[in-house]
């Protein structure tokens, strides 16, 4: 295996295919995500975004193909877990704990003392907006938005090299959305963290990501380097479907079968 310094790709996907009830829901022949890239994943419901994320995290196994993280196969291996942090939904949380108990648990998994965790939490107090800590609530009693804040904060606590978030802007308030964007930009631009974010919010995703992957029916039909016209192009695509500027994109129908 090459040395870590010689590895340029954080994620490499090859011939990845997932089938449910005879229908191919993800079909990605090849995808490379380089270290330090900020990737946005967009597509309508059912496009396969979350399924792709779950295969990248070895939460579900594909019918064919593989995902490599730093040139090591993800499925059945453990090394990638030491530098990867993810929050896809509230199922990632331990809902019978308080937020504080959960953060101490996550910190303990990464050999962090309670004092270290406390310092970290104090440092992101603005992100919590006074709604999470010292409220005497279990995670299960928090709103969806506040559960998302706990999940995202637990990812940040881990100091990851790879951060994966599924719809992180969906349920949080506008102030927290802007704070989260600032955090993600800082992680990517100043700390070199590779970020993968799925979102239906085209404004936010084009603001924080330098590269956009557009999925349709399990296939990545467009790989876009973000520029001043990307938001408009995406809005046209989702506004008028195949009449959009992406209508010229040709997808082999055999790839979905």
> What DSSP assignment string belongs to 33-85?
EETT-EEEEE--TTSSHHHHHHHHTTSS--SEEEEEETTEE-TT--GGGGTEE
pLDDT, tens digit (0-9, with 9 covering 90-100), for 119-174: 999 999 999 988 899 998 999 999 999 999 999 999 999 999 999 999 999 889 99
Strand pairing of 72-73 and 219-225? unpaired
Tokens linked to 123: 């440092």
What residue spans in the chain does CATH classification 3.40.50.300 cover? 7-83+160-169+183-247
Instruction: Please tell me the CATH code under which domain 7-83+160-169+183-247 is placed.
Output: 3.40.50.300
Query: How large a percentage of the chain has pLDDT more than 90?
Result: 82
The model's pTM:
0.88
- List Cβ neighbours of 243 (8 Å cut-off, separation of 6 or more): none
**pLDDT tens digits along 57-97:** 999 999 999 999 999 999 989 999 999 999 999 999 999 99
Residue 158 confidence (pLDDT): 96
Residue 22 has pLDDT above 70, yes or no: yes
pLDDT of residue 5 exceeding 70, the answer is no
Residue 245: the pLDDT is 44
User: In the predicted model, is pLDDT for residue 56 greater than 90?
Assistant: yes
pLDDT score for 130: 86
Residue 171 pLDDT:
87
Q: Nearest to residue 147, comparing CAs of 161, 124, 164, 131?
A: 131
- Closest Cα partner for 56 from 43, 71, 69? 69
Smallest Cα–Cα separation from 173: which of 141, 206, 136, 132?
132
């Amino acid at each position: 295996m090459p040395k870590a310094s010689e590895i340029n790709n954080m994620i490499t996907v090859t011939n990845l295919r997932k089938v449910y009830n005879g229908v191919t829901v993800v079909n990605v022949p090849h995808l490379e995500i380089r270290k330090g890239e900020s990737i946005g994943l967009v597509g309508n419901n059912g496009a396969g975004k979350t399924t792709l994320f779950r295969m990248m995290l070895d939460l579900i196994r594909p019918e064919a193909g593989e995902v490599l993280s730093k040139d090591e196969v993800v499925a059945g291996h453990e090394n990638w877990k030491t530098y990867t942090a993810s929050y896809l939904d509230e199922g990632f949380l331990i809902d019978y704990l308080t937020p504080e108990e959960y953060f101490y648990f996550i910190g303990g998994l990464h050999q962090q003392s309670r004092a270290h965790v406390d310092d970290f939490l104090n440092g992101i107090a603005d992100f919590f907006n006074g709604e999470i800590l010292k409220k005497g609530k279990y995670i299960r009693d928090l709103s969806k938005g506040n559960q998302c804040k706990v999940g995202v904060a637990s990812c940040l606590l881990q100091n990851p090299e790879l951060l994966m978030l599924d719809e992180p802007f969906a349920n949080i308030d506008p102030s927290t959305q802007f704070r989260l964007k600032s955090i993600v930009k800082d992680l990517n631009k100043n700390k070199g963290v590779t970020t993968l974010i799925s979102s239906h919010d085209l404004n936010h995703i084009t603001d924080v990501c330098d590269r956009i992957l557009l999925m349709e029916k399990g296939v990545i039909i467009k790989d876009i380097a973000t520029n001043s016209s990307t938001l408009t192009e995406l809005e046209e695509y989702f506004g008028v479907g195949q009449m959009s500027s992406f209508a010229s994109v040709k997808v082999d129908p055999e790839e979905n079968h």
